Chains A and B, each alone.
Chain A
C-alpha cells in the first residue's frame, strides 16, 4: 500500500510539474514576446521618424549653409563691382531692398545710420593680430624684388574707442626673393589701416620707394583679398597679388 501511495504521489507530482511547465511555457511564449514585439515596433517607428527629422534638418541646413551664402555674396559683390557705383565717392551703400547712401565715416561707428541698420551689422575685423595672409603674384611691374609671394603678418591692432570705423594696424610685409646672386629675406614693418566701409586694408609704404599695398576684401569672403601694390602718391596700381588667409 505504501508503495502504491508513493506511486500516486509521484504521478501527482508529475502532473503538477506538467501544469507548471505548461503555465510557464504559456507565460514565455505569448505574453512577454508580444510585449517585446510591440515595443520593438514602437522603437522602429521612432527611429524612422528620427531619421526623417534628421533628413529634413539636413535639407534645411543645406539651404542655410554659411559657405554657400558667402559664395553667393562674393558673386553679388563681383556684379556690383561691374555696375556703376550707386553712391558718391566717399559714401557707403546700405544695400538691401532699400538702397541708401551714407558717409563712409558712419559705418561701424556704433550708431545706426542706415534705415536697415546694415552699417552696424558687419563690424568684425577680418585682420586680427596674429593673422597671416600669403599673396601669389598675378602681375608685377614695379616691386624691387619681383617676388612670387608676399606674406602679410598682422602684428597688432588698435581701435580708438571714440572712432571705430577705421582700425589701426601694425603689420610686417615678409618677402623672400631669389636672384642669381643671392637669396634674401626681408621683413618690412609698416603701419596700416582697415576701413569697414569698403572692406579695404591700406598698408603704408614700408620703404622709401613710395609703394604701398591696398587690399580689397569682397565683403563676404574674409579669407581672400585682392592686393594691389600702388604708388601711394598717384594711387596707380602696378602689381597685383591674390592673398589667402593661412
Chain B
C-alpha cells in the first residue's frame, strides 16, 4: 500500500492526538479517584476528631488547674510589705545620734540630717540624694493628713478627727535640705455642733528623719505644735503627735493618712 507522505503524516497526527487524549482521560480518572478515595477521607476525619477530643480534654484539665490556682489566697500587695518592712526597721536598733539619720541604702551609715538632699552625696552609696529620699511628695501644697486624735493630756476631749494641711512650701536654693512650710492644724472640739478649732502653724520638713515639724507662728500665743513622722514606708502614712511647742510634750497622738 502506498500512501502519499501527506496522508501518512495526517494519519500519524491523528493517532498521536488519540493516544494523548486517552492518556489525559486516564490521568483525569486517576486524579478523580485519588481525590475521592473514601477511606483516605475517613481516616483524615478520624484523626482530626481525635485531636479535637484530645485538645478539649487538655483545655478542661487546664481550666480546672486555673480554678484551683485562683482559689488560693492572692498575692500580698507591695504596700503591705513596705509597711511591714518599715515597722520592722523602726523597731531595729539605730546607732545614729539625734542629729543624724541612717542612709536609706543597704549600708546603714549615719549622716547628719543637714546633709540629706543638699545636692552632695554624703552617704557612700549616694542614697541621701536618691529621688525616693528627696521626694517632695509629702510637702506638696494642699497635702492633708488626717487621723483620729486621742488626747492623753492638755485637753479634755474625746477622740476625734485631727487634720494637718500644708498651705505653703518653700525650699531655699542655698539651703535645700529643709523645706519650709506653713500649715494648719484643725481638730474638732465639739462633736455635736461641729465646732472646729484651727491653728496656723509654720515649720519645716526634714528629709533625713522624714519628719514634718510645725510650731506656732511668731507673735501668736503658743498653742500647739505638730510632729509627723513618715516612717511607715510611704509618703501617705504618718505617725503624728500634737505637742506643746516649747517642751515637745505630747498632748495627743494620731495615725495619719493622706486624704
Interface residues of A (CB under 8 A from B): 2, 5-6, 9-10, 12-13, 16-17, 19-20, 23-24, 26-27, 31, 35, 38-39, 42, 45-46, 49, 52-53, 56, 59-60, 62-63, 75, 78-79, 81-82, 136-139, 148, 224, 242, 244
* CB-defined contacts of B32 to chain A, threshold 8 Å: 23, 27
A5 contact from B14, B35, B44, B58, Cβ within 8 A: B14
A6 and chain B: residue at smallest CB distance: B14
A242 contact from B75, B85, B107, Cβ within 8 A: B107
Do the beta carbons of B17 and A10 come within 8 Å of each other?
Answer: yes
In the bound complex, CA of A81 to CA of B52 (Å): 58
Do the beta carbons of A42 and B51 come within 8 Å of each other?
Answer: yes
* CB-defined contacts of B17 to chain A, threshold 8 Å: 6, 9-10, 13
* CB-defined contacts of A45 to chain B, threshold 8 Å: 55
7 contacts between A and B (CB under 8 A): A9-B21, A23-B35, A24-B31, A27-B32, A53-B62, A75-B84, A136-B107
Do the beta carbons of A79 and B88 come within 8 Å of each other?
Answer: yes
Within 73-102 of B, Cβ neighbours of A (below 8 Å) are at: 75, 84-85, 88, 91-92, 95
Whether A52 contacts B62 in the complex (CB less than 8 A), given A46-B55, A75-B85, A138-B109, comes out as yes
In the bound complex, CA of A224 to CA of B108 (Å): 14
Do the beta carbons of A136 and B124 come within 8 Å of each other?
Answer: yes
In the bound complex, CA of A231 to CA of B95 (Å): 19
Do the beta carbons of B109 and A60 come within 8 Å of each other?
Answer: no
Binding site of B, secondary structure by majority: helix, strand, loop or mixed? helix
Do the beta carbons of A139 and B31 come within 8 Å of each other?
Answer: no
A12 and chain B: residue at smallest CB distance: B21
Within 8-28 of B, Cβ neighbours of A (below 8 Å) are at: 10, 13-14, 17-18, 20-21, 24-25, 27-28
A9 and chain B: residue at smallest CB distance: B17
B31 and chain A: residue at smallest CB distance: A23
* CB-defined contacts of A78 to chain B, threshold 8 Å: 88, 92
* CB-defined contacts of A137 to chain B, threshold 8 Å: 107, 109, 124
In the bound complex, CA of A63 to CA of B106 (Å): 25
In the bound complex, CA of A27 to CA of B88 (Å): 76
In the bound complex, CA of A13 to CA of B7 (Å): 21
* CB-defined contacts of B48 to chain A, threshold 8 Å: 38-39, 42
* CB-defined contacts of A62 to chain B, threshold 8 Å: 75
B91 contact from A5, A20, A39, A82, Cβ within 8 A: A82
* CB-defined contacts of A19 to chain B, threshold 8 Å: 25, 28
A55 and chain B: residue at smallest CB distance: B66
In the bound complex, CA of A63 to CA of B75 (Å): 8
* CB-defined contacts of B25 to chain A, threshold 8 Å: 16, 19-20
Mark contacts of B210-250 with chain A using CB atoms, 8 A cut-off: 1 yes-contact digit, 0 otherwise.
00000000000000000000000000000000000000000
Do the beta carbons of A6 and B106 come within 8 Å of each other?
Answer: no
Whether A13 contacts B28 in the complex (CB less than 8 A), given A6-B14, A75-B88, A82-B92, comes out as no
* CB-defined contacts of B59 to chain A, threshold 8 Å: 49
Whether A35 contacts B55 in the complex (CB less than 8 A), given A9-B21, A20-B27, A79-B88, comes out as no
* CB-defined contacts of A224 to chain B, threshold 8 Å: 106
Whether A6 contacts B28 in the complex (CB less than 8 A), given A38-B48, A42-B51, A49-B55, comes out as no
* CB-defined contacts of B110 to chain A, threshold 8 Å: 139
Do the beta carbons of B24 and A16 come within 8 Å of each other?
Answer: yes
Do the beta carbons of A60 and B24 come within 8 Å of each other?
Answer: no
In the bound complex, CA of A75 to CA of B76 (Å): 14
Asked if B69 is at the interface of the complex by the 8 Å CB criterion, the answer is yes
A20 and chain B: residue at smallest CB distance: B28
* CB-defined contacts of B24 to chain A, threshold 8 Å: 13, 16-17, 20
Mark contacts of B29-59 with chain A using CB atoms, 8 A cut-off: 1 yes-contact digit, 0 otherwise.
0011001000000001000100110010011
B65 contact from A9, A10, A56, Cβ within 8 A: A56
A82 contact from B55, B88, B95, Cβ within 8 A: B88
Do the beta carbons of A49 and B31 come within 8 Å of each other?
Answer: no
In order of increasing CB-CB distance, the 6 nearest A-B pairs are A20-B28, A27-B35, A136-B107, A242-B107, A9-B17, A13-B21
Do the beta carbons of A49 and B109 come within 8 Å of each other?
Answer: no
A38 and chain B: residue at smallest CB distance: B48
State the Cβ distance, A128 to closest chain B Cβ, in Å. Answer: 23
Residue with the greatest number of chain A CB neighbours at <10 A, chosen from B24, B28, B106? B28
In the bound complex, CA of A138 to CA of B124 (Å): 10
Do the beta carbons of B10 and A13 come within 8 Å of each other?
Answer: no
B44 contact from A12, A24, A35, Cβ within 8 A: A35
State the Cβ distance, B37 to closest chain A Cβ, in Å. Answer: 10
Do the beta carbons of A56 and B62 come within 8 Å of each other?
Answer: yes
B56 and chain A: residue at smallest CB distance: A45
